[in-house]
Structure 1
Amino acid sequence: MTQTVLPTHFATFEQGYPHLCSKLGYTFKDPNFAKRALTHRSFDPKMSYERLEFLGDALLGVVIANALFIKYPRHDEGKLTRMRATLVRQETLVQIAEKLGLSGHLILGVGERKGGGRHRASILADAVEALIGAIYLDSNDGFLTKTLVLSWYGDLLDEVGQEQVLKDAKSRLQEWLQGNKLPLPIYTLMDTIGNAPNQTFVVECQVAVKDCQPITERGESRRIAEQKCAERMINQLNKLEKPKPI
């Protein structure tokens, strides 16, 4: 039996629409809602996803807050707030976008396409929120929208209840080092590639720990690059039996 190989991106919205609906778990009554949710302002400023993103952002916050409130009845407000922040942050939305295969459906201007817009974290995260807004308007059904969103999140709602993922990677790295009586990490901006707003930041993270190599990462903001460095540094440190200062 021959397996169908899907393209990395579709030539037209219409070509990819059936696959999009299959991944979303929803078929639009009016496909124009879906098309607009995937249209970046570089393609058409007047018909971009930005208004839908505004609505989807608000809806996502309510859906996640409600789900956490019910799922974790013993958690206080502070802990629930950190959990919600983890689930609605850009990094998590990019995971959702990748799961839904959204990069192949984005409608971008020529310059944005050539500049790697299909894999730009901010665009992918915005598209997820815009699709939430589009589904809500198309279906006029808040319960259906909530059900779909939670299905996209899958196990993330369970994983966020684990203490180690409640704080961002930089905070966790700092606490790890302090807990082992080691110096704090040093983040250095090594390079800035491109021009605003499409810049890439190259950051290096060093820790004064024997046998621990510096980590270099890239991101569309310095903060994102630093978070990536911190996450990889934590993984490296966890492999050491007895971390010792240099």
Structure 2
Amino acid sequence: MSFIRNILKNSRTNKDGNFFLLLNKILGYKVKNKSLYIKAFTHRSMNIKDAEGNPVNYERLEFVGDAILGAVIAHYLYEEVPHGDEGYLTKMRSKVVSREHLNELGKELKLIDLIESNIPKSNFGSNIHGNLFESLVGAIYLDKGYNFCEDFIHKIIIDPKVDIETLEGRVISYKSLLIEWCQKEKKTFDYNVYEDSGNDEVKHFSVKLSIDGKVVSKARATSKKKAEEKASKRAFFAFQKQIGKVL
């Protein structure tokens, strides 16, 4: 571990003081295992490896944080909603730990200000915020243990953000919702996606969403998934009354 600490310490040099000052302010306590938190904000572009040649970056902590978040939220929902069956609880947990929600949390905490990377911050996609939040949770769990991490998740997410009634009405995927409606109503649907860069520097994709052979919405975004979701959202609001009667 001392080898890793030295690598991580050297990668930040004199910025360590500011890093932990900001981190302590976000967390509300002084961290114990500093190397974990430095790793939690080290991007793979730094290309740091340990003595065995293993990559040293936030991705493994992100994996741990994702699991801990899921467990804590699952326990909370199990206790809070005794009438909820497995399907209901799974859907509600997905809404709490959705990529969109975690990205919002990462942005609110300004976690990207702590990242060490060879890539300009302006080049990161929106998911970097949620990724860093998960890696931070992973670091807290390994540093302070499950109970402390559970308290942190309650303080940051559950107490101020989670309201069961609001969550029940929250849509995390308009595409999934629209497909479910089409299948129940025996309607055909088709997402015609094609590359549409135009004059943009970044590659874009356009999509035409057809239901029963008729184009009902169009959208354009920087990925196929985003374009399909945007088109689905527009179609959802166009058919909201019909969908509400079935789902």
Query: Is this a same-fold pair by TM over 0.5?
Result: yes
Q: State which drifts further: 58-67 or 18-27.
A: 18-27
Q: CA RMSD in A?
A: 3.6
- Percent of pairs identical after alignment? 29
Distance 1:80 1:166, change over 3 A: farther
Query: Which has the higher relative contact order, 1 or 2, with Cα contacts under 8 A spaced 6 or more apart?
Result: 1
* Alignment TM-score, normalising by the size of structure 1: 0.70
- Residue 161 of structure 1: how far off its partner (Å): 6.0
More helix by share: 2
1:116 paired to 2:119: no
Q: How does 1:1-246 map to 2 (within 5 A)?
A: 12=15, 14-46=17-49, 47-109=56-118, 112-113=119-120, 116-117=123-124, 119-121=125-127, 123-139=128-144, 141-154=145-158, 155-158=160-163, 162-165=167-170, 168-175=173-180, 184=189, 186-191=191-196, 202-207=205-210, 214-219=218-223, 222-235=224-237
Secondary structure of 2:116's aligned partner: coil
Greater Rg by CA: 2
- Residue 183 of structure 1: how far off its partner (Å): 6.0
- Residue 83 of structure 1: how far off its partner (Å): 1.8
Letter in 1 for 2:155: S
Counterpart Cα distance in 2 of 1:228 and 1:151: 32
List runs of 5+ in structure 2 lacking aligned partners: 1-13, 50-55, 243-247
Alignment size in residue pairs: 218
Distance 1:167 1:101, change over 3 A: closer
Counterpart Cα distance in 2 of 1:188 and 1:59: 36
Letter in 1 for 2:18: Q
2:95 touches 2:167 (CA, 8 Å); kept in 1?
Answer: no
Distance 1:89 1:13, change over 3 A: farther
